[in-house]
Structure 1
Amino acid sequence: MEYSVIKEGDLFFLTDKNGELTENNEKGYGLYTKDTRFLSRMELFVDGEKPSLLSSSANRSYFASIRLMKDRKDEGAIEIHRERFIYDGVLYERVSLTNFFPQAVSFDFSAAFDADFQDMFIVRKYRTGEVGKIIGKVTGERTLSIRYQGADDMLRETCIRWDQNESEVDADGIVHYSMTLEPKEIKQICFFIIPVLEQKWPVLLSFEEGLKRLEASYEQWYRETSRVTTNADVFNGLYRRGVQDLRMLMTDVGYGETPVAGLPWFAVPFGRDSLITSLFMLPLNPEKVKGTLRTLAAYQGDSVDAWRDEQPGKIMHEIRFGELVNTHQSPFGPYYGSVDSTPLFLVLLGEYVRWTGDLSIVEELKPNVARALDWIDRGIEAGSGFLTYHQEAERGFPNQGWKDSSNSIVHASGEYARSPIALAEVQGYVYQAKKSLAPIFERMGEMALAEKLVQDAEAFRARFEQAFWMENENFYAIALDKDRRQVQSVTSNPGHLLMTGLPAASRADRIAKRLVADDMFSGFGIRTMSTEAAGYYPMSYHNGSVWPHDNGMILLGLSRLGYKKEAGKVISSLLAASRFFEYQRLPELFCGHGSELGYPVPYPTTCSPQAWAAGTAIVFMQALLGLHPNALKKEIRIDPFLPEMIDELLAEHIPIGAGHLSLKVTRSRSGSDPVKVEILENTTGFELIHSSK
């Protein structure tokens, strides 16, 4: 990637590879919290000149290390080593200057800072609006403070502190140090950048103590989550990267931790993105997904508001906290323009119970569940039997499924579908939500509701099979348009249906096989659209690109239905693709060119790290184990397999129910079963069933 980014909690820092925020910052680099840029300039100079880059790494997600140098021909150089992390609302940066000249040298070292407090939407040139103003810049002993009075009457402040006394601050807010270093001598300066909202100050620690506490929090995360290792370094690297990035992307806005969508521009809770990421995280640690359920329940729609596409019972799409939202110049506080967040909310709740057996959160969220079901039922009735979407908000999204670009729902003729639109995968989520909630309410003694949910689901399934199946393609249509015409493009969307249990067995078989056929499978993953479709082009956002999370949703279904060959093909292809991306981090998406090129083609404006892409690595583990618990029945089904590159897989400390499962899968060189399974730990109290298709 062309940028460097670290994040912790609600604060993230985005810079160029040199670690800089330049004075004329056109790429949106900055230090952000609450959708506001609290630092827009941070530049280092030696004798008034910029040092050159040697190396730049943010491999640890939470910690960046950047090496620069300022040389004088062949005489020697001053090396500048920048180390940075974020902890408890503070950006810590340590600058180490080393003299690599053969004699003592004197020089001016300076650091320039500024803050513009721009709203994220303005930075991205996504919105304009009436905003506040800078009300003062104050310098003190080892401090520089910049204050901003927002149009929302909120006082924002950026305070920069440093730990060395031998400094001067000029009229432009540039901190100067006159330095003399002996050969090999090192001098360190620590900067502390503190965003302050309404004069709420975080606790400031030493650089060493802050880093120690941050690293301890990661170690605790690793102890609490599943551990997986194989004999294949590519799998191990991707899994470790996914677990680390998921920790980085967790945020608590007051209702428990939830994964944000991704960096740099979507570091806030989402509906769809946070729910799908949490679904992927269940084998990692189900306890970690409760914050998502509670956060989304807290922001559930309670009124009809076309400005925000809000309706009672609807689960939000996205929430923002910046100045434009606070002054009602943007509808994103929160915005509800997503048709799939509400059924996915119920799907996640149902799957959480299957993993844990915990009915207390269902009891806690029962009013939210009832309102979500009511919203779905009202939508189905208004949509002539299916759940549809139609943009109401003037500044909202025209397409409101996960493929939300304006050209993503396209007929075979090339004509864009007109709303209201019923998406195939959304109907599957509705079916799965009702089917998975039914046994939960039965267990809770609400028999009439449980029976109604089952009856509704089966009637819904029959309507869907009749309306969406394309006989000419032996595949489901991506959608029905406003006239109930099938949108006859072959896409990845119906692949999500395999997870939901909606398709008849014969049709599920056709879907599974078509997804890995040449027109849909790139060699580096399943494409979002068939190469034979009218709307296909591989460099698109949604019409032929490869999205790891899309493949992850499909993998959950392939695994549940026992399609090992197809699942192995998808996993192997994405593992191969991961080798080509920085830090072996699967991005949000990449182009859908075929693997005959020898490498995946990056998409130019992708998010990385991105939560549901990171979570895909956890899905790989679940799919390879064929792991599907049902805590209500007190049983765990496994059906393991190993792709060609893996001969041994060790999965430890998988939380299920009130206990843990650990097992080892080894390729068998003889016998009828291609793998040998050893159960190393089962403290769940559940029956372990080894099934095979």
Structure 2
Amino acid sequence: MDYRVLKHNDVFMLTDQSGNIPKDHSYGLGLYKYDTRFLSELMMKINNVPLVLLSSNARHNYESTMLLTNPHMETDGVVELWRESIEVERKRYVYEGVYYEQIKLKSYAPKRVAFDFQMQLDVDFADMFVVRGFLGGELGAEEEPETSKQQLIRTYIGKDGVKRQAVMEWNLEAQSVEEGEISFSMELGHAEEIVLSLQVKPLVGDESVRSMDPEIALEQLRKEADSWKDSHTEVKTDYAPLQRLIDRGLKDMHVLLTDVGYGNLPVAGLPWFAVPFGRDSLIAALQMLPYERGLAKGTLRTMASMQGERVDHWRDEQPGKIMHEIRYGELASTGQIPFTPYYGTIDATPLFVILFTEYIGWTGDLDLARELLPNVEAAIKWMDEYGDRDGDGFVEYHQESSKGIANQGWKDSGDSIVHRNGDFAETPIALSEVQGYVYQAKRGLASVYEALGRKEKGAVLQEEAAFLKERYEQAFYMNDVNYYAIALDGDKQQVGTITSNPGHTLWADLVSQNRMDELVAMLTGEKMFSGYGIRTMAEGEAGYNPMSYHDGSVWPHDNSIILLGMGRQGYQDAAAKVMSGLVEASQHFEYDRLPELFCGYDRDMGHPVHYPIACSPQAWAAGTPLSFTQTMLGLYPSVIDEFITLHPFLLQGMNELHVSHLKVRDGELDLSVHRREEGYQVQIHKNTTGLPVHVNGSVMPT
């Protein structure tokens, strides 16, 4: 990862590894809030010369530290400052709407030295979509800046009439403040140090943000991190690479949390998707259910609050539909882009129902079931009416908005749905995994209806699901390759390219039992499995490209959904193979972090190949190792179950798995799995759930 990113609630900071934001960079570095950039330049210099990076540490998600020094400075044979005379430590973090940076300058020169220290600050108030080069638009204008020896205020009045301000403050009196360059005269003796504290407040509208003592802010951040760690299920294993991956996933998920008024939910990822997303937030919350189920409640309530209410082609909105993405910047609020929110997603609506049913299965929370049932029923109605555009029993998508997204499944790039001959599929398109989500949603909701005493409504959904399963086998199975098509195109022709999408239907239990072996064999065979994970598209297909975004790369979250299905269907060896590959891959990325995606080259390369613009941290990538625990335990609760069922296994090189404070229904479960010569031994250390535990069909003693 060649950048550093920090986030707290609605504010995030993106810089290079030195902590700088160069003026004419190409990656969109900056300080952001509500899709607006409040710092477009941040440079630290000594005597107007850039510093030299020594180290850059972002091990803790809530803060990063950079160590730098000065280069040699000499003019006409006269030494102004000997190289490595001044140590510059930059410690930075974001807390409660304020960016903090503590800059400690320490002299190692043998005698007292004088030098100038400069901070170059600039603000462009650019909308995120402009920064990323997607489009321009009608924009507002900036007012005259306000300056003093310890403050610089930049103000922008947007085309939407909203005032946006960047308030920059520092603790030392500056020698000069000119055109964004703040200069300080420094003089230090040997081993003497001084701390320059910078605070930047991004303000929108009439809001005010109170800054605090920087050390107190950092201490509060550390307390939040400790509280998060103590609040969720604890997983310990003797397999160190997996332990590091799980720990990193939980830390990353914490930094990605946001509350827009309905409880915490995970935003999609940093740096470009620090907003609520339909499928991303829903899938990440699903992955987190064994660890922290409160995120599911916050995600469900947030999505319900933005559920579609009318037909609006500009936003691809329809009644009952769950949104794809919401944006808060100038272009969105002036109606120049449709993301207010935008509804161009085919899978978020069934995934909303799945998260609802899975959450009820884990918690037994029938009060929330009753609260959200109108939203869930509206989602089901959308699937049956608007989702199934032509009444053929399949849910399909078609872009209506002129500035919307053409491909509306999770593989949403323009080249992702491609026929065997290389032609791109024409819409309306019915994706294989979406039919699985619909099937799973209806069956899960049928169980909730049963728990609520409404068995007749549940029986109707079960009949509809059975019909979908029969139709899916007829329409999507390809006899010539013994595999399922990724989609049906607008002419109801199979899009026959071999991809990972049908693998999601294992989790849904949509696949015919006698064809599961073929499906799993393809997913874990040489064409699909790179050695580090399951590819999005099989090697040898016309559209295959290991460097592509969706046509041959490896996406951890894609693998995680397939893994949940393999675990549910009893394919433990296949699941272990895939998980082991992903664990190995993680060791080649900074801080053992799985990125959004990586290239699909096989292991002959000697290491996984980075994808150049992958988000990291990214919510459903962070959630991937967390889903490993559920897969290894074989734990899939249902609201109508009267017992807890486990089918455990461990990865190669792993002999122990300990799970504590696992919340199921109204209680907790503490258990451990040990590898033994005769198989796996399970011990139940605590069970306050009120439900007996069955391990591979045998009832465990209480």
Q: Is the 8 A contact 1:5 1:15 kept in 2?
A: yes
Kindly state the Cα deviation for residue 75 of structure 1 after the two structures are TM-superposed: 6.0
- Determine whether 1:551 maps to 2:559: yes
Kindly state the Cα deviation for residue 381 of structure 1 after the two structures are TM-superposed: 5.7
- Determine whether 1:226 maps to 2:233: yes
**Distance of aligned partners of 1:75 and 1:584 in 2 relative to their CA distance in 1, 3 Å threshold:** closer
Number of aligned residues:
689
Kindly state the Cα deviation for residue 634 of structure 1 after the two structures are TM-superposed: 3.3
In the other structure, the counterpart of 1:309 is 316
In the other structure, the counterpart of 1:439 is 447
Q: Which of the numbers 284, 295, 306 marks the counterpart of 1:288? A: 295
- Determine whether 1:527 maps to 2:532: no
Deviates more, 1:35-44 or 1:359-368: 359-368
> Alpha-carbon deviations, 1:617-636, whole Å to 9, x = none?
10111111222223432321
Q: Is the 8 A contact 1:39 1:116 kept in 2?
A: yes
The RMSD of aligned alpha carbons is 1.4
TM-score calculated relative to the size of structure 1 = 0.98
Q: Is the 8 A contact 2:389 2:396 kept in 1?
A: no
State the AA in 2 paired with 1:157: Q
Q: Is the 8 A contact 1:64 1:84 kept in 2?
A: yes
State the AA in 1 paired with 2:384: D
Query: Distance between the aligned counterparts of 1:76 and 1:56, measured in 2?
Result: 17
Query: Distance between the aligned counterparts of 1:197 and 1:4, measured in 2?
Result: 24
Query: Distance between the aligned counterparts of 2:118 and 2:150, measured in 1?
Result: 13
In the other structure, the counterpart of 1:259 is 266
User: SS of the residue aligned with 1:262?
Assistant: coil
Query: Distance between the aligned counterparts of 1:358 and 1:565, measured in 2?
Result: 34
Q: Is the 8 A contact 2:36 2:126 kept in 1?
A: yes
User: SS of the residue aligned with 2:6?
Assistant: strand
In the other structure, the counterpart of 1:565 is 573
In the other structure, the counterpart of 1:676 is 681
User: SS of the residue aligned with 1:272?
Assistant: helix
Q: Is the 8 A contact 1:51 1:68 kept in 2?
A: yes
Q: Which of the numbers 334, 337, 355 marks the counterpart of 2:341? A: 334
**Distance of aligned partners of 1:448 and 1:76 in 2 relative to their CA distance in 1, 3 Å threshold:** closer
- Determine whether 1:374 maps to 2:381: yes
Q: Is the 8 A contact 1:90 1:204 kept in 2?
A: yes
User: SS of the residue aligned with 1:261?
Assistant: coil
Kindly state the Cα deviation for residue 289 of structure 1 after the two structures are TM-superposed: 1.3
State the AA in 2 paired with 1:26: S
- Determine whether 1:510 maps to 2:518: yes
In the other structure, the counterpart of 2:187 is 180
In the other structure, the counterpart of 1:396 is 404
Kindly state the Cα deviation for residue 448 of structure 1 after the two structures are TM-superposed: 2.8
User: SS of the residue aligned with 1:666?
Assistant: strand
Identity of aligned residues (%): 47
State the AA in 1 paired with 2:420: A
Gaps of 5+ in 2: 74-81
Kindly state the Cα deviation for residue 573 of structure 1 after the two structures are TM-superposed: 0.3
Query: Distance between the aligned counterparts of 1:363 and 1:11, measured in 2?
Result: 34
User: SS of the residue aligned with 1:291?
Assistant: helix
State the AA in 2 paired with 1:276: I
State the AA in 2 paired with 1:377: D
In the other structure, the counterpart of 1:50 is 50
Query: Distance between the aligned counterparts of 1:133 and 1:237, measured in 2?
Result: 48
User: SS of the residue aligned with 2:143?
Assistant: strand
In the other structure, the counterpart of 1:608 is 616
User: SS of the residue aligned with 2:136?
Assistant: coil
- Determine whether 1:238 maps to 2:245: yes
User: SS of the residue aligned with 2:121?
Assistant: strand
In the other structure, the counterpart of 1:416 is 424
Kindly state the Cα deviation for residue 677 of structure 1 after the two structures are TM-superposed: 1.3
State the AA in 1 paired with 2:499: T
- Determine whether 1:495 maps to 2:503: yes
In the other structure, the counterpart of 2:77 is none
Kindly state the Cα deviation for residue 498 of structure 1 after the two structures are TM-superposed: 0.4
Q: Which of the numbers 594, 599, 603 marks the counterpart of 1:591? A: 599
> Alpha-carbon deviations, 1:366-411, whole Å to 9, x = none?
2211211111000226252210001111111111101111111111
In the other structure, the counterpart of 1:171 is 178
1:191-202 to structure 2, matched below 5 A, reads 191-202=198-209
Query: Distance between the aligned counterparts of 2:369 and 2:697, measured in 1?
Result: 32
Q: Which of the numbers 338, 351, 355 marks the counterpart of 2:362? A: 355
Q: Is the 8 A contact 1:99 1:185 kept in 2?
A: yes
Query: Distance between the aligned counterparts of 2:611 and 2:646, measured in 1?
Result: 36
1:460-479 to structure 2, matched below 5 A, reads 460-479=468-487
Kindly state the Cα deviation for residue 76 of structure 1 after the two structures are TM-superposed: 4.5
Q: Is the 8 A contact 1:110 1:175 kept in 2?
A: yes
Q: Is the 8 A contact 1:109 1:176 kept in 2?
A: yes
State the AA in 1 paired with 2:691: F
Q: Is the 8 A contact 2:237 2:654 kept in 1?
A: yes
Kindly state the Cα deviation for residue 692 of structure 1 after the two structures are TM-superposed: 6.5
